[in-house]
Amino acid sequence: MDKKLIKQRRDGFFMVLREDTNYKTRMDEHLDFERAMEEEGFIKVETIPGDGETTPFQDIWLNPEQTHRINFVHNPVVDTNYLRIDGEFDIKLIGKLGSWICDYDRTELFETADLALKDDDEEEAVRAIFNIAVKFYYYHHSQKMMFERYLNSSNPEIRRGAIRAISFQLWRECAPLLEKVIQEDPEEDLRTYAQEVLEQIQQPEVLELD
């Protein structure tokens, strides 16, 4: 199940797409994304269909100069969409994407996660904590603090969502949070899941030499 969500890539710039109430499904946002890519001259190079349950749908686009790659990703487990932009940071490109597609800023994501946790809104909380992991493509202590709050929830599915979120970026700074889950969480499957993610974090980083 959740094993398929474990990620090791920590580079790239990410945009978490805002849910539009005018859409019937989250995948309708993909149409706006495609129009934006075509308008900016990007070329679709691959589509990974996913399975609609655990494996994400991905659409991959390159600009003509092949200096930037943009992935549209729909994660069906938490029902969220995000963009991953690879290549040299280009504020003009980010601005153009923002004019086509609405995305969350970090403050909004933290506010959403905080409210969902206080309300014990399982579905929204699981989505919100995952979105925070996506948006922060570099480690920040405020994110770790939110992970810790979620791991202290009495709701096991919210705790599972926090482990899933940690698995997205695999920051070593979050290892102590997983160690605590392994030692103290009452749910055996969550202890096992945390151990799997911790082992991923503890793997030595491989440096690619030219």
The pLDDT tens digits of the residues spanning 109-135 come to: 999 999 999 999 999 999 999 999 998
- Confidence (pLDDT) at 26: 59
pTM reported for the whole predicted model: 0.83
CA distance 82 to 48: 15
CA distance 169 to 66: 25
- Confidence (pLDDT) at 23: 52
- Confidence (pLDDT) at 1: 31
Residue 71: its H or E element: strand 69-75
- Confidence (pLDDT) at 208: 44
pLDDT lower than 50: segments of the chain: 1-10, 21, 207-210
Question: Which CATH topology does 2-100 take?
Answer: TATA-Binding Protein (3.30.310)
Strand-pairing partners, residue 46, are: 60
Identify the CA nearest to 83 among candidates 42, 126, 124: 42
Strand, helix or coil at 45?
A: strand
Q: Which residue in the block uniquely carries the two structure tokens 């940690």?
A: 166
Q: Which tens digit of pLDDT belongs to each residue from 11-24?
A: 568 889 887 645 55
